[in-house]
Amino acid sequence: MIRIPCPFCGERDHSEFGYGGDGTIVYPALDAPAEEWVEAIFERENICGVQSETWQHVNGCRMWLLIERNTMTHEIQSVRPAHEGVAKALEESK
Amino acid sequence: MSARRLQSGGLIDRTQTLRFKWDGRDMTGFAGDTLASALLASNERVLARSFKYHRPRGIMSAGVEESGALVTVGTGDRRDPNVRATTQELYGGLVANGQNAWPSVRHDVSAVNGLFGRFFAAGFYYKTFMGIPPFEWGSGTGMWMQYEKIIRRAAGMGEASRAPDPDRYEHGHTHCDVLVVGSGPAGLAAAHTAAEAGLEVLLVEQDCELGGAYLSEPGAVEERQNAIKALNDAGVRIMTRTTAFGLYDYSVAGLLERVTDHLSAPSEHLPRQRFWTVRARYTVVASGALERSIAFGDNDRPGVMTAAAGRTYLNRYGILPGSKVIVATTNDSAYTGAAELCRAGAAVTVLDARRSVDNSVLDLARNAGTGLRLGAAPLRAIGGKGVYSLDLAASDGDGWRADGSENCDLVLVSGGWSPVVNLSSHRGAKPVWDAENACFMPAASDEPLTMAGSAAGIWNTKGCIASGQVAGAHAAKALGKSAPAASAPSAGGWASPIRPVYEVTVPRKKLKSFVDPQHDVTTSDVRLAHREGYVSVEHLKRYTTLGMATDQGKMGNIIGLALMADALGKDIPEVGTTTFRPPYTPISIGALSGSSVGAHFRPLRRTPMHDWNLEQNGTMTEAGLWQRPWYFARAGETITEAYIRETDTVRKTVGLCDVTSLGKIAVQGPDATELLNRVYTNPFAKLAIGKARYGIMLRDDGMVMDDGTTWRLSDTDYFMTTTTAHAAKVMVWLEELLQTRWTDLKVHVTTVSEQWAGCAVAGPKCREVLEACVADKTVMSSEAFPFMGVIETTLKGGMPCRIARISFSGEMAYEAYVPSDYAMPLMEMLWKAAEARDGCLYGTEALGALRIEKGHVTGAELDGRVTIDDAGLGKMASPKKSFIGSAMRSRGDMGREDRPRLVGIFPKNRTQSFNAGSILCAEGKVEGLGEGWITAVTHSPELGHWIGLGFISSGYEPWAGKTVIAADPVRKGNIEVEIVSPHMVDPSGERMHG
Amino acid sequence: MTRYSAWSVFWNGLTGQKGWDRAWRDPEPKAEYDVVIVGAGLHGLATAYYLAKNHGVRNIAVVEKGYLGGGNAGRNTTIVRSNYMMPGNRDFYEHSLKLWENLSHDLNYNVMFSQRAHVSLFHSPASRDAAARRYNTMRLTDTDGELWSLDELKRNVPHLNYGPNSRFPILGAAVQKRAGTARHDAVAWGYARAADQHGVDIIQKCEVTGVIRDGARVTGLETTRGIIKGKKVGFAVAGNTSRLWGMAELGKLPIETHKLQAFVSEPLKPLLDQVVVFGVGGAHFYISQSDKGGMVFGGDIDWYKSYAQRGNLPIVQDVAECATSILPCLGRVRLLRHWSGVMDMSMDGAPFICKTPLDNLYLNAGWNYGGFKATPASGWYFADLIANDRPARVVVNHDLTRFERGVNIDERGAGPDPKLHG
């Protein structure tokens, strides 16, 4: 069981979360050409080691989180809200 | 053979006699016995048969490593096969039977297999059974399938009950600072130290009693009691009969607690077992060590067991397991037990493989009066269903030579000890070979995990206690507490070093020496594997099945490894370590399922009208986790008759349908319009307040994701509906977009699916019905409430309600939503008005018929491989804006004109029906992948015949007027059909505009 | 080399099992090969075998970081079926099944392919119709497939939960009788032995640590046993594909590595004669009984990306729930072992057998859950690709450009998210 320290709810089992995917993907503009979208949607670094990825606390606060996690050991290095504005507000509230 | 119960001694309660049945015979034992100890005390030797040769198997151990005494416990629907007699607590009324034998384990006709053992070498089945013997003529799998039937019947061990398991199981969840696994001297010390440091400690023990090795030490009674009292005083939580079966990420442990398996008549409110998930901050594993056997001739005979087991049966269960005992050892550990057996009245001879042994050890033997032969080892056990003598071997250089024989009725063997490293192995820590102690030691872990006691290779009680204290202090330190410093003992602790002996054999003597007695893996099998090149440990295991039996190689793996290392001329670690997988001991699948069984396998979602629908004689159908009304049959009606009537009624008067299961999302905020405009393919920027619009969403890859209507309630407030199937997915999708991609948009999305109950009111008389229900009927006028209009109003009696004039059926129709608590009164009120107008209730079957007639798509068509153009909805994709999927939706093949497009389907002969799932083929070419497929079929009362929806290449125009074959070889065969426009009823849509 | 047969088993029984040769050699790597396959899993070994057998390539090496058949080859639930319907997939998996049917004879190694029937339950009229489309497609392409009514199902598979307390009542099943199970290790060993007999060097404990490039060509591989040159190089390394791809400096791939757990119970006398699968209520489950008697079963992947060959409890629990819900007598049966493998999940659930941006490098990957059953055809077509430097018709769309070409061979219709293609 991976235990994810949700910035809003505290440490929780990973089964409360939904897995998003690669957190480093920059989605092109909606009117960008298809080639850019193909790259963003289909191509993956598929890192063995620490990767940035998105998770959603579906059965909790429903916030999307950006998590740095080792895909070999499952160790989590950092967790922050995926939304920069929310992340910043959270930081300031501390 | 003469095991017998002693008059005194042990931890059993001789005042409580327990009656039980073994193989149909009445027997007795005492409270505190295991099934094995009770049978041993009754001098039962043959308790089981081996997997392959059906050789007799007796008790080989006194614990979880048991590889011989596997029996079936219980009867009927509570029959449990493959139970280790050594861990099954005895209770009054227990019924146990032998297994894998006929007519009984004592007289098993399949023992004849043993005669052919020379042909059944490791992996022989990979070399034959392919074709017609003797040269495997032929092709295909025909012969193998015949052989397989016989092989399957011969294989397997016990027979499981076929009946549903009548017992209940529970799940528990708990947290602690420190989880201590095992309650031997090390575990007790670790738990105490950690608790004294102020930590919350959970101690789990698989046995019914705390104490571990203390339980077999006659002199440790007081020490054990004191240690337990100290734990209780320190507030340690203790769980007995609880196995920590696996360690998982983040110090999470899985535990299995056996609640009633030891009770004659368990209370009804108790579950049989509990599966606990423990989230610990630190774990101390003091899981002990297991004694290994030695491979020698016929070492599988009943009457050969581990030395530690002999000691346990004597000291814990008050049994003298043999009267003439040979103790064969390679290390110091067996001496104490040998002396105790001698004092208890047995004639004991110790064979020590070592040529010289420290005097302190020899004194143990001498003082007790045991015979002693140094440089000696067992060569072959003589006997059938028991042992009556032992051929001996004497040390000869590095090897052995035959050296006479000695009578005996019990052979106790100690080939050394293996720390139980399973749990740390679950964490991926590869055990490290320790040549000095001839065992695998747990690797250091970089997780909050410490091994203690004999699990860390510490062989004496004092060292184990110290090791436990150190582990407790480690835990304390790691969790920010302080504990008294203790000095760590070093591994080992015997007076003289072990002589690693894995096999005793002499030249030119053919012996059947077992490495894995349950699976009948012998030393020759290991050597054959070597000759054939299956040399890595994993190949060895898989090829010979060594270590794959129910004990998972707890006793045999190391011997197998050592023999392979020897054959290769390498050291053991070069051959490999074995990776232990969870669970540590087998655990019932029912416990893992807990209460999520039967009707509770998955949650059941009911709408707030559920009971009302049932009262109206609704039949329910599954829609994901929801149950929705399928049809409302009147007396004598079949489902077909019912839905045809319902469909017809909706087209002619009015019908009501519970649509609560649709997903509902409140989309609110200043940028709500912008969000909708980006996720829907069609324009939403100019949707007026008080209007609804049908919208389609695509996935990133341009395929259709979902559809639904979205209602504009105010400048910044929308009410979105989704399909039932995709409600959760769309919600997550919108949240993802807003929180990760479009973080500049000021929009909040909230799921309100549970807040609103909905009913579709469809048919020519729908306005009349709603007029009868709203407080102010002028709101329903066509001018005030046009097609695609939305109103928020009040129903009679003050019920708040939001209504949209939207149609899925193609008739003039509304969807009315009320807060869920008003669902029943809403239905009562609507139904009263509808019934008075010859209306009906309709379910999903009629809903389907209505939408098929109209060519409206649902999940049956939108299967994730369909583009918006395929679905005939290309016009809904705005060319003037970009939206999710717009860049991708016509790339390459997705833009091809000849893709399968949505069409309507009529049977050529209008009296015929046909099936969804049929493949559409050109006439005369009913083969291959076809030209398309049928997604949905219904009987249309309006048209008076069966109709369908489907996809066919290039759409309906090129096929118009041609005969097409609906091929359904798995059901109906071929039906001639014709392809029509998907809009089969009221194609211009006049009706819904009313 | 001794041919395996009832006669040789009998003779060796009489003569003390002395006549058996090594199943495969343990050669030192040569400096250069015509073809080097990376990965001695099922697909790599099968590729080497068919390269030698079908295409007469004589100088082949298969290099393996661990031991042959030590990855997913030995970690799967051994199901073989061909109930695929998308263009390309249909022909590919049926070709595979046909090869399976004669594989024991072809390899002279009993892989125990048991055509015991694959029974896919359905619980609603809609799922019945979806199954009908699939099985009709199979029938029209000369593959067996049928629908069983509830009565037929009860007669054939008696112990399923047909009771009133079933959460999702069973309506019937779609059945492929030629499908079944095989002995996974035997497949690896059988291919290894047969390839070795054709002169293929299987080099174990030889980890690739670097890919040596000369412009748009691969010239060799750096390994823990020295540099091995290859005129052509093929990757067949499942979950580790992206790592090798990275060594070749080829950027990203449409693959994510996820882990899939598998489970086996204690051995039991015959309890279930077919492979039974179902998917309902968000659950996904498959079970069969091995010839040794263990119930072998599995479910979904663990939902998050992982290279760790070990699983976590939520899926263990989920799979157990599926097991007891469909076979309620399994409640008392005990789980003996659970483990996990790392899967190369592609973005559409379909595999890659294709050329790469490098002229002489070929890729075999993206097998999702489907790798075991695909073994013979995967080896067959990958060998064909490598030998002829062009894909066969059947696999033209199993390439890396299909996404930009808008080709959809997604059997599940789940969309571009690897975790959904279980």
CB–CB of B547/B99 below 8 Å?
no
Alpha carbon C119 to its chain centroid, in Å, reads 19
Residue A1: list chain C partners with CB under 8 A. Answer: 312-314
Residues of chain A whose beta carbon is less than 8 angstroms from a beta carbon of chain B are: 1-3, 13, 18, 20, 27-34, 36-38, 40-42, 54, 56, 58, 62-64, 74, 81-86
Longest dimension (CA), chain B: 113
CB–CB of B290/B559 below 8 Å?
no
- A34, A35, A71 ranked by CB distance to C305: nearest: A71
Q: Using the beta-carbon criterion (under 8 Å), do A84 and B701 form an inter-chain contact?
A: no
CB–CB of B983/B854 below 8 Å?
yes
Residue C252: list chain A partners with CB under 8 A. Answer: 39, 43-46
Please give the C-alpha separations between residue B696 and each of A26, A76, B876, C229, C393, in angstroms, as whole numbers. 24, 38, 8, 54, 36
Tens of pLDDT, residues B660-699? 999 999 999 999 999 999 999 999 999 999 999 999 999 9
Most C-contacting residue of B99, B126, B145, B256 (CB-CB within 10 A), to test interface: B126
Residue B334 and residue B496: Cα distance in Å, rounded?
Answer: 13
CB–CB of C329/B163 below 8 Å?
yes
Q: If you average pLDDT over every residue of chain A, what do you get?
A: 96
Q: Using the beta-carbon criterion (under 8 Å), do A45 and C252 form an inter-chain contact?
A: yes
Tens of pLDDT, residues C349-358? 999 999 999 9
Q: Using the beta-carbon criterion (under 8 Å), do B121 and C146 form an inter-chain contact?
A: no
Tokens of B170: 């529970």
- C253, C314, C417 ranked by CB distance to A46: nearest: C253
- A41, A74, A82 ranked by CB distance to B700: nearest: A41
* Residue numbers in chain B where pLDDT is lower than 70: 1, 994
Please give the C-alpha separations between residue B118 and each of B525, B534, B535, in angstroms, as whole numbers. 11, 20, 22
Q: Which pLDDT belongs to residue B66?
A: 97
CB–CB of C401/C352 below 8 Å?
no
Tens of pLDDT, residues C266-300? 999 999 999 999 999 889 999 999 999 999 999 99
Residue B916: list chain C partners with CB under 8 A. Answer: 129, 132-133
Residue A74: list chain B partners with CB under 8 A. Answer: 249-250
Residue A34: list chain B partners with CB under 8 A. Answer: 887-888, 891
Residue A1 and residue A92: Cα distance in Å, rounded?
Answer: 31
Q: Using the beta-carbon criterion (under 8 Å), do B159 and C410 form an inter-chain contact?
A: no
pLDDT tens string, chain C, 422 residues long: the values are 789 999 999 999 999 999 999 999 999 999 999 999 999 999 999 999 999 999 999 999 999 999 999 999 999 999 999 999 999 999 999 999 999 999 999 999 999 999 999 999 999 999 999 999 999 999 999 999 999 999 999 999 999 999 889 999 999 999 999 999 999 999 999 999 999 999 999 999 999 999 999 999 999 999 999 999 999 999 999 999 999 999 999 999 999 999 999 999 999 999 999 999 999 988 999 999 999 999 999 999 888 999 998 889 999 999 999 999 999 999 999 999 999 999 999 999 999 999 999 999 999 999 998 899 999 999 999 999 999 999 999 999 999 999 999 999 999 999 999 988 86
Residue B17: Cβ-neighbour burial (10 angstroms; 0-12, 13-18, 19+):
exposed
Residue A52: list chain C partners with CB under 8 A. Answer: none
Q: Using the beta-carbon criterion (under 8 Å), do C242 and A44 form an inter-chain contact?
A: yes
Residue B295 and residue B301: Cα distance in Å, rounded?
Answer: 12
Subunits with 3+ Cβ pairs within 8 Å of B are: A, C
Q: Using the beta-carbon criterion (under 8 Å), do C102 and B917 form an inter-chain contact?
A: no
- C243, C253, C312 ranked by CB distance to A44: nearest: C253
C309 to chain A: closest CA residue:
A72
Q: Using the beta-carbon criterion (under 8 Å), do A82 and B740 form an inter-chain contact?
A: yes
Q: Using the beta-carbon criterion (under 8 Å), do B252 and C334 form an inter-chain contact?
A: no
pTM of the model: 0.97
Distance from CA of A4 to the nearest CA of B (A): 10
Q: Using the beta-carbon criterion (under 8 Å), do C305 and A19 form an inter-chain contact?
A: yes
Distance from CA of C20 to the nearest CA of A (A): 41
Q: Tell me how many residue pairs between chain B and chain C have CB atoms under 8 A apart.
A: 388
Q: Using the beta-carbon criterion (under 8 Å), do B891 and A34 form an inter-chain contact?
A: yes
C305 close contact with A: CB closer than 8 A = yes
Helix intervals (H) in B668-797? 672-679, 727-736, 766-771
Q: Which residues pair with C338 in a beta bridge?
A: C263
Q: Using the beta-carbon criterion (under 8 Å), do C312 and B428 form an inter-chain contact?
A: no
Q: Using the beta-carbon criterion (under 8 Å), do B892 and C406 form an inter-chain contact?
A: yes
Residue C183 and residue C191: Cα distance in Å, rounded?
Answer: 13
Indicate left, alpha or beta for B776 from its phi (over 0: left) and psi (-120 to 50: alpha): beta
Residue A44: list chain C partners with CB under 8 A. Answer: 242, 252-256, 347, 418
B883 to chain A: closest CA residue:
A30
B749 to chain A: closest CA residue:
A62
Residues of chain A whose beta carbon is less than 8 angstroms from a beta carbon of chain C are: 1-2, 13-15, 18-19, 21-22, 34-35, 38-39, 41-48, 51, 53, 55, 71-74
Q: Which pLDDT belongs to residue C232?
A: 98
- C6, C282, C333 ranked by CB distance to B133: nearest: C6
C245 to chain A: closest CA residue:
A45
Q: Which pLDDT belongs to residue C255?
A: 96
Most C-contacting residue of B425, B593, B844, B899 (CB-CB within 10 A), to test interface: B593
B residues 675-734 near A, CB within 8 Å? 678, 700-701, 732
Residue C107: list chain B partners with CB under 8 A. Answer: none
- B127, B588, B895 ranked by CB distance to C406: nearest: B895
Residue B105 and residue B117: Cα distance in Å, rounded?
Answer: 19
B894 close contact with A: CB closer than 8 A = no
C204 to chain B: closest CA residue:
B536
C306 close contact with A: CB closer than 8 A = yes
Tokens of B730: 């769309």
Distance from CA of B418 to the nearest CA of A (A): 27
Q: Using the beta-carbon criterion (under 8 Å), do B534 and C23 form an inter-chain contact?
A: yes
Alpha carbon B654 to its chain centroid, in Å, reads 49
Residue B51: list chain C partners with CB under 8 A. Answer: 267
Q: What is the per-residue DSSP string for A6-74? A: ETTTEEEEGGGSEEEEETT--PPPTTS-HHHHHHHHH-B---SSEEEEEEE-TTTT--EEEEEEETTT-
Tens of pLDDT, residues C174-222? 999 999 999 999 999 999 999 999 999 999 999 999 999 999 999 999 9
Residue in the structure block whose two tokens are 């436990």:
B468
Tens of pLDDT, residues A14-42? 999 999 999 999 999 999 999 999 999 99
Residue C256 and residue A71: Cα distance in Å, rounded?
Answer: 11
